[in-house]
Amino acid sequence: MARAAGDIAKTIGIEIVSRAVDATIGVTKGDIVGFDSAGAVRTASITNTTSNVVSGYGISLETVAGGAGNARIAVGNTYMYATSSTGAAVPFVLVGQEDTSPSTAGGFLALTFADTATNSALSFGQLVGRYMGHEGEEDNPTAATTAEVGILRLGL
């Protein structure tokens, strides 16, 4: 069975928190999410100063509209399925959250250390985790291409 973004990839060491969803910004299952200064869940954004490595990142386990209650979020060192927003995420590369394209927001992309037109000043401040490969790729994992579901290990 093919896994979908927002599914748990490994059943050991799972860390899940439940937090109120931001009043105006909802979350979708499989989205990379951040937390605002009050601890509310919101879709993460590299242009949003309240979403950064200090306040934390996770992956939403369910879809909840803005202000509609709590959402369960996988955090810590949990292994989760997420969608690649751009290709060339090679196994074990650091990844961040995509925010440059509304059609792929919530997905992940490989971090770089140079400012470019499509990867605006990504740094450890936007670090979400590491891309580990696709489902069933314990040996010789392959790179994620655009819009593919792959496994992320949250955190460093």
pLDDT digits (tens, 9 = 90+) for 21-39: 988 888 889 988 888 878 8
* pLDDT over 70 (residue 142): yes
Say if residues 73 and 41 touch (Cβ distance below 8 Å).
yes
Count of domains for the chain: 1
Decide if pLDDT at 11 tops 70.
yes
- pLDDT reported for residue 124: 47
Model pLDDT, residue 140? 93
What pLDDT shows up at residue 99? 60
**DSSP classification of residue 126:** G
Domain that holds residue 152: 1-156
pTM of the model: 0.81
Q: What value does the mean pLDDT take over residues 101-114?
A: 67
Please count the other Cβ atoms lying within 10 Å of the Cβ belonging to residue 96: 25
pLDDT over 70 at 100, yes or no? no
